[in-house]
A and B are shown apart, each in its own frame.
Chain A
Amino acid sequence: MKTIKVSVVTPDGPVYESDVEMVSTKAQTGELGILPGHIPMVAPLQIGAVRMKIANKTEIVAVSGGFLEVRPDQVTILAQAAETSDEINLERALRAKERAEQRLRERQQEHVDFRRAELALQRAINRISVAQGK
């Protein structure tokens, strides 16, 4: 089967690089599946999981925002933070989730903080679900 090269790059260095059969991810406009030979495209991503299919296996990378660049033979994901499922520190993610939830419960008038807590919660939930392989 034809494959497409995928690389996930963050400011702290490349996180994932491999040849895969299909990439599926969540763009801001909705779920997106990319097969080899896709037309060049750019799309911003949501906080979510990127799934890579290679020979009946699926590998997952948790991505926090950023965007996706597609070329016919290559997919590049530029994210501000990304981790493969075995890199995630589950305990830390759980703690972050609790912290964010607590902040949301005692939310005050400050709009910015609320937004930040919400994003932090999304990131934590995303990491947890990727780490647990769902």
Chain B
Amino acid sequence: MNEISWILIEAGVKALIIIGMMLLVAAASVYVERKVSAFIQLRIGPNRVGPFGLLQPFADVFKLFLKEDIIPAAADRWFHRIAPVISLGVAFAVYAVIPFADYIVIDDKIIQFGIAPDVNIGILFILALTSVGVYGITLAGWSSNNKYSLLGGLRSSAQMISYELSMGLALVSVILITGSLSLTDIVRDQAGWRWNIFIQPLGFIIFLVSSFAETNRAPFDLPEAEPELVGGFNTEYSGMKFGMFFLAEYANMATASALIAMLYLGGWQLPFPPEWLGLQPHTLAMALAQFAFLVIKVAVLIFFFIWVRWSIPRFRYDQLMNLGWKVLLPLAIVNILITAVVLYILK
């Protein structure tokens, strides 16, 4: 076999592993979400299906599979079908460029942890894809031919456009410091506690708030604000198509957490020198340790996302726009300015 087919096979296997991992992460986050919300509200949460209710997400998915798939008579059938696929596909596709650990060398062969972690436009690719993810939600709202769905879809597009700006501008400061768009380079640049969160605290906060808006999580879950919009963009969805939106929401949350971890929390960098554990760089043990620390960082961030959802009430729509355009955007620009000036002086 020639080299191209080997690369394709390798990418395919990695993609399957990553998708499997994402499904597990989504299931785990659903479980954690329900447990954390229950604990915050002095309830117990799911505890009947399996030990401690651990199998609850699987029971939920099984139920969704069995539900009737309803398409409203007046809906645009084609777009109605394709919208959840866009949402979920985009959520998974982002993982193509995320490095899960440093590369390892076995018998002079370099093995990457990730499908294409070294691609030199990593961040641009992720920003582009998350923007495509908006199409899923907007199309879902529009194709349902329901006024509430349409409002949800419109809100989502307006919200995403507003917050993508400040998100991108917050990123520019990180890119200025690293001098590269590749996620691997950005992570490598943060070795030894030179995490970007300490260098860019303002940028971190802007990025964090924007990623809440990007992933449609409370307090910015206006596209699906239940009290005012019934179910928002997914009002007319049922069965596994609703399940796909549901899954996409949690996959997006994991993506956002991974991205925050990569850009500001040192990605797969160990929080202590790897020599303490006797680990050599570019060995399997080292990669596993790095992967474990990335997973811990992502888990903490996912917990944070969930924690915020059950603490802070939803923003009003005008407040959301005010925050995005009048606060975060100027702050992000100021942040770029400061970063650029400091970097110029230091150079």
Asked if A and B bind, the verdict is no
